[in-house]
Amino acid sequence: MRTLPARLTAGLITALFALLAFSSPALGADDSALVITATRTPQEIGHGISPTILIDRETIAASQAQDAAELLRFVAGLEIGRNGGPGQATSLFIRGTDSNHALVLVDGVPMNPGTIGGAALQNLDPQLIERIEIVKGPRSSQYGSAALGGVVHIITRRPTATGAEVNLATGSDASHQLGAQLRHVAGSISAELQVNERRSDGFPARVGSSRNSGHRMTSAKVFLRHQSAAGHFELRHWQATGNTEYDGFFLEPLDQDFRNTSTALEAEQAVSDRWLSRLTVSETRDEIDQGQGADFTHTRRRLLDWQNDVEWRGGLLSGGISLSREDTRALSFGLGFDESTDTRSAFLQNERRWSATGLLLAARMIDHEDFGAHHTGEISLRRELTPDAALHLSWASGFRAPDATDRFGFGGNPALEPETSSSIEAGLRVNHGMLRWQASVFRNDLDQLIAFIDPDGYAGPLPGRNENIDRARIDGLEVSLQAQREAWQLRAEVMLSDPENRDTGRQLPRRARAQLVLAANYTGRRLAAGARLLAVGSRPDSDFNTVRNPGYGVIDVHARYPLAGGTLGLRVENLLDNDYVLSDGFQTGGRRAFLEWRWSR
């Protein structure tokens, strides 16, 4: 906390004490909400063996966020890096792990590209999102490669009744938005079509530039479902296409076209009253094409995932197989590759519950075409100490196969080995009359981390190459408090961590040791309003320089009021117009305001 401004620190401590005093008994409203990400099976969020964070539709709509990264930014333990304004390259760090250790799913389908690693959160429109589930810590036993730091599961909206929705927005940086949604529900058939268009002139992305970096994006979603007594058949398609302008190394104007798509067919069938089987076949694409030359990066992934859940001896036994073919093509800095990779895996999970105890055992075998067989595991325990208090303990291991760019792109090294992790965590959750609070301590050890270096004896055409040299250890403490009193909802979260490169002793780049979030929301008969504060400590910018990005604090506010048959929303980002840095050499937005009108029937 020494890296935060003194006035801001004092204000945060005062607000925390106010939160402790401002509480009421109506806290458990969301404890019965079902989430699926932690175990791939439905769990009540307040009673699951593995803790899950839920951002629901009401919170998403109230925030009036422009992309998924803005929604994740105000969750302690998640840090966002962004190279400028709307549409610019965005990174997500979960509990101090690398950006390519955060697995992002859309409706259960992995979105991380095979060419770069991190999912394009800047291209995920909140208008299409029903909820976001966040699970911190390794989840390779459930989802395979890449989930060393955690999983962000974005679940798109589903029709529950026939109707329509229209939304219009305008605001700073000549930003405009127009969207529409059509829903139809009749008997066993439900269908939805949604389209959303966003445009913004943005602001100069690079320090020293006077030219705005504009962004335009069209998002669309199609959903069709047939429900029967024994199961369902579902077709889902999501896509985002558009263009983003940015500044080159010498501040020259550049732009690139992007395309992200996910198409899935899912069939779920109750084989018996104790056996549920689900088969999902999907294809995802992540494509970027440079406007000023021939450079491009393309990923196409086809995935078959078959899961079976069987009630067995008083518990739930889950298992299945996954078959993946990933095609990656790229040309960058004159270096290109065209690679196809097959991955096969099988997982088995057993969840058992006794009167006050829950136990989860999970394992996955991953057979990678280039790296052979690897195994991951998880053991999680939940113990209810009293009706209002529960303890959870867990150990989990993680695995990430190097992507195509690691092996064949700039500085590529085909001899790389997979990155691995091992994590332990202990936590306590308490509903204490008028207050709910949670606390967790964790340690995550990562080995064989990939870094770009100049190794001894290397005589290649580049100044260096990727090597498995780094080890990291992240020790951390997270505390969150929530309260609700009549129309008020309050939340406070603190994360203190030590993200250390164990080979150099340095703090990992772009990962802070202290992070604090405060949020307050009021929902009245007509007016709904809220404010969110994020305070982040200082952190190194890169392993390749000595720049240290200073700590910062930002406040966002939002409000909604009924108007003209719909609701009028106002959102103000960075209310105090603070200057801050997420990435050295790149600018962040000052105070910006947006108006949104939404009509729904």
What's the pLDDT at 343?
A: 96
Query: How many residues are listed for the chain in this entry?
Result: 601
What are the residues whose beta carbons fall under 8 Å from the beta carbon of 492, sequence distance 6 or more?
15, 16, 19, 480, 481, 482, 516, 517, 518, 519
Average confidence score pLDDT of the chain: 91
Domain boundaries defined on the chain: 6-600
173 backbone φψ class: left, alpha, beta (φ>0; ψ -120 to 50): left
| Tens of pLDDT, residues 564-591 | 889 999 999 999 999 999 999 999 999 9
Q: Is the pLDDT of residue 248 over 70?
A: yes
What's the pLDDT at 289?
A: 97
| Tens of pLDDT, residues 74-122 | 999 999 999 999 999 999 999 999 999 999 999 999 999 988 768 999 9
Q: Could you please report the per-residue DSSP string of 102-139? A: EEEEETTEE---TTTSS--GGG--GGGEEEEEEEES--
Q: How far apart are CA 427 and CA 422, in angstroms?
A: 17
Amino acid at 547: V
Q: Is the pLDDT of residue 227 over 50?
A: yes
| Residue from 36, 58, 75, 77 nearest 129 by CA | 58
Q: How far apart are CA 556 and CA 63, in angstroms?
A: 9
What's the pLDDT at 33?
A: 86
Q: Is the pLDDT of residue 592 over 80?
A: yes
Q: Is the pLDDT of residue 6 over 60?
A: no
What's the pLDDT at 460?
A: 65
Q: Is the pLDDT of residue 357 over 90?
A: yes
Q: Is the pLDDT of residue 2 over 50?
A: no
Lowest-confidence segment of 73-77, 139-143, 333-337, 505-509 by average pLDDT: 333-337
- Using DSSP's 3-state secondary structure scheme, residue 437 falls into strand
What's the pLDDT at 31?
A: 64
| Tens of pLDDT, residues 483-525 | 988 899 999 999 999 999 998 899 999 999 999 999 999 999 8
Q: Is the pLDDT of residue 9 over 50?
A: no
Count the neighbouring beta carbons within 10 Å of the beta carbon of residue 433. 11
Is the pTM for the entire model greater than 0.85? yes
Q: Which CATH architecture has domain 6-600?
A: Beta Barrel (2.40)
What's the pLDDT at 118?
A: 85
What's the pLDDT at 457?
A: 61
Mean pLDDT of 435-442: 94
pLDDT band at 462 (very low <50, low <70, confident <90, very high): low
